[in-house]
């Protein structure tokens, strides 16, 4: 299991936080996505054999936010 932090730009409220969390936790291999509005970041736990950082960032972009 891999843990990584991705910074996210564009989240303004708890609705955004929920969107990002839902989108990420739906990806196969992701076991936990802990999104912080205050810190503008997500702490992800995922299986690197199933998914990767590029796919996770893409999912954040597809949801309408910027992954840095
Ligand atoms: Cu929002």
Output the pLDDT for position 29.
98
Instruction: Judge residue 28's burial from the number of C-beta atoms within 10 Å of its C-beta, 0-12 exposed, 13-18 middle, 19 or more buried.
Output: exposed
Looking at the chain, list the stretches that DSSP marks H as alpha helix, in order from N- to C-terminal side.
Answer: 14-25, 53-62
Task: Give the model confidence (pLDDT) of 11-58 as tens digits.
Answer: 999 999 999 999 999 999 999 999 999 999 999 999 999 999 999 999
CA of 40 to the centre of ligand 1 (A): 12
Confidence of residue 7 (pLDDT cuts 50, 70, 90): very high
CA 37 vs. chain centroid, Å, equals 12
CA of 17 to the centre of ligand 1 (A): 7
CA of 49 to the centre of ligand 1 (A): 32
CA of 46 to the centre of ligand 1 (A): 25
Q: Which domains does the chain have, with CATH numbers?
A: 2-67 (3.30.70.100)
Output the pLDDT for position 36.
98
CA of 19 to the centre of ligand 1 (A): 8
Output the pLDDT for position 65.
98
């Amino acid at each position: 299991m891999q843990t990584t932090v991705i910074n996210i730009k564009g989240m303004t409220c708890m609705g955004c936080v929920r969107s990002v969390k839902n989108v990420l936790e739906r990806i196969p291999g992701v076991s936990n996505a802990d999104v912080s509005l205050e810190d503008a970041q997500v702490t992800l736990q995922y299986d690197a054999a199933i998914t990767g950082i590029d796919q996770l960032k893409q999912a954040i972009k597809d949801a309408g936010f910027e992954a840095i």
